Copies of this chain bind each other. A is one copy, B any other.
């Protein structure tokens, strides 16, 4: 007698670099925000921190800096970043295949949600880019105590759509998504569309890596999604 292995599964998506092509604009915006408080940090190091919680981002920056920043200056940085990002956001597009992938999952009745370390303020624009219906579950940084690489965002998203996190597949472009996925007990899929290298994602625990949402959509059968009969 076969075991009942085919429990309902779900997809939990990161947003920046996973569904929308916004990572490089975020990187440049962090660069500009830090310049405004007199901090010069190499851009690739900012890139590798995108997607983690703002608090941990700032902690990580502190470690890189040779001078110590006072708390008041540090507190200004996230606001300056949001302003700088708003200046660059016009150039942000949906990633290839993002809308089609979400539509496909919906058509097949597979639950999905979005979980992002970004705030509602910056993430809200993505609703338009992706043509999301109003009732889509999107868990933003404002809604949890700890953002990635803590698992709270993905745990909250899974709970909101009524799926066991252990039956969920997390899709993200950054090491922080994949670490959060492992801590949550979910499988993690890495996408190259945020600009990390393939092996960085594998070493962070991705059980599969694709180029972008379109590439994932074309290989859904590899991750357990059957074509409708």
Question: Which A residues contact B (CB, under 8 angstroms)?
Answer: 17, 21, 23-25, 27-28, 31-32, 35, 40, 42-44, 47, 88, 91, 93, 95-96, 192-200, 212
CB distance from A179 to the nearest CB of B (A): 16
Q: Is the pair A44, B193 in contact by a Cβ cutoff of 8 Å?
A: yes
Q: Is the pair B194, A197 in contact by a Cβ cutoff of 8 Å?
A: no
The residue on B at minimum CB distance from A212 is: B42
Question: How many copies of the polypeptide does the oligomer hold?
Answer: 2
Q: Is the pair A43, B31 in contact by a Cβ cutoff of 8 Å?
A: no
The residue on B at minimum CB distance from A66 is: B96
Q: Is the pair B35, A91 in contact by a Cβ cutoff of 8 Å?
A: yes
In angstroms, Cα B212 to Cα A54, docked, is 25
Q: Is the pair A192, B23 in contact by a Cβ cutoff of 8 Å?
A: no
Q: Is the pair A42, B199 in contact by a Cβ cutoff of 8 Å?
A: no
CB distance from A174 to the nearest CB of B (A): 12
